[in-house]
Amino acid sequence: MDLIWWPVAIVGCLALAACIAAAMLPPRRDRPETLRPLANTRRLTQLPEYTRAARRHLRSSVLVVALLTMAFGAATLASARPTGLPAPGRETAANPPEDIMVCVGGPETDPAVDATLRYFAAAVGEFGTERIGLTSANRRLVPLTRDYQYAAARFAGTAAPLVSPVSYTDYAANIEDVLALCLTGFPDTETDADTAPRRSLIYVGPGTLGGEAGPTLFTAQQVREMAADAGVQINAITDETITGAESLPAELARATGGQVHHRGDVTAQLSDIRRHPPPADADHNTRAASVETPEVLLAAAASLTVLAVFLSRESGRRYLPLIAAALLLVAVLRPAIGDTAPGLTTIAGEREPSVFLIVDRSVAGTAQADIAAVVERHPGARFALIGFDDRASLDWPLSADAWTLQPIIAAMAPQADETTANAGAANTVLRYQLISAVQQFPKAQNLVYYFGSGAPNSTVPQREFQVPDDAVDGGAVVGYGPAGAARLRAVADQIGVEYLQRERTPALDEAIADAGERSSAETAPAGRGLELYWVLSGPAAVIILLELYRALGRLRRIHFDRIAVGR
């Protein structure tokens, strides 16, 4: 147990010592009325009944003093804001977060790969705190994300091939580079260290891809170091095609505590892997070391005080210790001002902002540098990319994998017919993305950045944005070209962000930074609220100390009464 306010405990000890010293001082001889003269006491005190009653009275008085002393000590320690004690209901966290990267080394026609995709298309519906990703031999198909609807659709879909059709003149795909590409899908350890999610990579494919004899971007040793540095548990479902030695995926799986399976019933093998996830951090449930845990002390102080009142033979002023017990019982409920949740992590990156990039495909090429500036201004954030022309699509789910997002932005192309463009086409997609973000990351900010021209040449009715109330915390609408400025100002008002005309904002990165700082200052979480239990336990401790003084005084009088009677 540690104390946040340790001087309170010291003051309590000094007060207890002063109370005992003051109460046990002998009575003043110039005040004879403190001892009542009684006649014929010797015959009375020699009666067995009197002797037994006196002993019971003495024992109960000593017990009351002991109970009040312990109650005062417990109340004082509680007022000093203790940490590290058992706290029912505050050390129990949800399952710790986990990042799962599915790494496929074969084409979609491979039966094992096909079974894997179908397995996770169904499994993501049961996820809660996990982030799921999918990487092929040369593509990041799904970044680590909690957008389970997007992930399930991509795992189940066959619209896009797993591997991009790229021809090399002096390079061939190899297992080292495939595993390295999959490992780079995990967020940087330093930026994600506060949440420390468990990390699991599931490789499905051949043990070797045939390009190992040629040049490689990564060596096997570098891949081993990457896995160790990132703390990734690697699992492998592969066919052993290397005679006399294990393949690199199998070797890494055994070295990182993962499962190794040869091809068979892939669904059963994947279920076995998921039943043996990476071990949770032993300190996960107590990660917030400064979480205050006074409940045990407060309950003990209240119980001891009530018991002392019950055992006390004094009938007067018994309401004072009962008031102290009531204050302590109320303090057990932990009254507070603001949010005082213990801060146990259940979702990776739960406090990082969610940034939504809404990009008009007609200006995608022009806006690439500006989008990159937004990404750079929000390190560690999650990004979602919504592209639109006459209709919108979620081109990138909400994910912290900003590195892989860059080529997606670069590949955006404008549509041929600008007369059907719609400046508000992204309304529905953005609305549902914001609703999902608020539900999944309630402690995070939602920032919306809109890059567009305002569809000045469009001849179709324009939609309006209708975002959920209090769902947007900041961002900006960046307009390209003066023709659509009026329409874009209306879009900015509808979303609830400011409008920036690109041609009039040469230092756009600074303007974006100012907008982000203002939104952060206005909507940043207030952090831990103010605990008030010590405001109640402090006065309760003072009342208990006064009652202890009275109990010690009664014990002292018993002692001197016995001396006087014996004379």
Whether the per-residue pLDDT at 384 is higher than 50: the answer is yes
What's the start-to-end Cα distance of the chain, in Å?
51
Looking at CATH, the fold of the domain delimited by 98-279 is given as Rossmann fold (3.40.50)
Which residues of the chain does CATH 3.40.50.410 include? 98-279, 354-523
Question: Which of 68-72, 359-363, 401-405, 526-530 shows the lowest per-residue confidence on average (mean pLDDT)?
Answer: 526-530
What is the tens place of the pLDDT at every residue in 427-448?
999 999 999 999 988 889 999 9
60-89 mean pLDDT: 82
Residue 53, token pair as written in the block: 């009653």
Instruction: Output the pLDDT for position 558.
Output: 65
CATH fold of 354-523: Rossmann fold (3.40.50)
pLDDT at residue 35, rounded to an integer: 53
**Secondary structure letter of residue 502 according to DSSP:** G
33 burial level (CB within 10 Å; 0-12, 13-18, 19+): exposed
Q: Are 249 and 203 in contact (CB under 8 A)?
A: yes
Residue type at position 440: Q
**Dmax (CA) of the chain:** 121
Q: Which amino acid is at 235?
A: N
Q: With 60 as the cut, is the pLDDT of residue 48 above it?
A: yes
Q: Residue 293: pLDDT above 90?
A: no
Whether the predicted model's global pTM rises above the 0.85 cut: no
pLDDT in the model for residue 314 = 59
Confidence band (pLDDT; 50, 70, 90) for 100? very high
Q: What is the DSSP string of 476-499?
A: EEEE-SSTTHHHHHHHHHHHT-EE
What stretch of H or E contains 131? strand 130-135
Q: How confident is the model at residue 546 (pLDDT cuts 50, 70, 90)?
A: confident
Which tens digits make up the pLDDT trace of 162-198? 877 777 777 778 899 999 999 999 987 544 444 568 8
The band of 311, judged by pLDDT with boundaries at 50, 70 and 90, is confident
Which residue shows structure tokens 């009531």? 326
